[in-house]
């Protein structure tokens, strides 16, 4: 799973950082960015702003995206991850799908 933030939509509330400080950071400009291995990926609009999400942070990243008032957090999931998660029951048990 990968995640990125559209900084043009970010309201700077920092809720994403509260939910998952391993995947999100808020820089001096007050805007949130994704982070990977503790490094902020702050090259908006490029592949340099797409972070891989550690398996331990998947649920927290999804929750951060759901709670984001700016609706600026975007998640990319590989088809294989969906199939693996559903067959193992992990996604079904941990994420409520409408």
Average pLDDT on 55-76 reads 95
> In this model, does residue 90 exceed pLDDT 90?
no
How many other CB atoms are found less than 10 A from the CB of residue 4?
A: 21
- Among 3.60.110.10, 3.30.460.10, 3.40.50.300, 3.30.70.20, name the CATH number for the domain at 2-94: 3.30.70.20
CB of 38 within 8 A of CB of 21? no
Q: Where in the chain are the domains?
A: 2-94
pTM over 0.85: no
CB of 32 within 8 A of CB of 45? no
Beta bridge partners of 40: 35
Percent of the chain with pLDDT over 90: 61
Total residues belonging to the chain: 98
pLDDT band, very low/low/confident/very high, at 45 (cuts 50, 70, 90): low
pLDDT band, very low/low/confident/very high, at 47 (cuts 50, 70, 90): low
pLDDT band, very low/low/confident/very high, at 24 (cuts 50, 70, 90): very high
């Amino acid at each position: 799973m990968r995640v990125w933030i559209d900084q043009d939509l970010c309201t700077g509330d920092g809720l994403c950082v509260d939910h998952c400080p391993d995947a999100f950071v808020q820089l001096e400009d007050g805007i949130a960015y994704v982070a990977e291995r503790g490094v902020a990926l702050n090259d908006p609009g490029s592949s340099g702003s797409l972070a891989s999400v550690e398996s331990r942070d998947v649920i927290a990243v999804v929750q951060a995206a759901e709670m984001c008032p700016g609706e600026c957090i975007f998640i990319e999931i590989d088809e294989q991850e969906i199939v693996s998660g559903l067959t193992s029951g992990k996604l079904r048990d941990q994420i409520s799908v409408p």
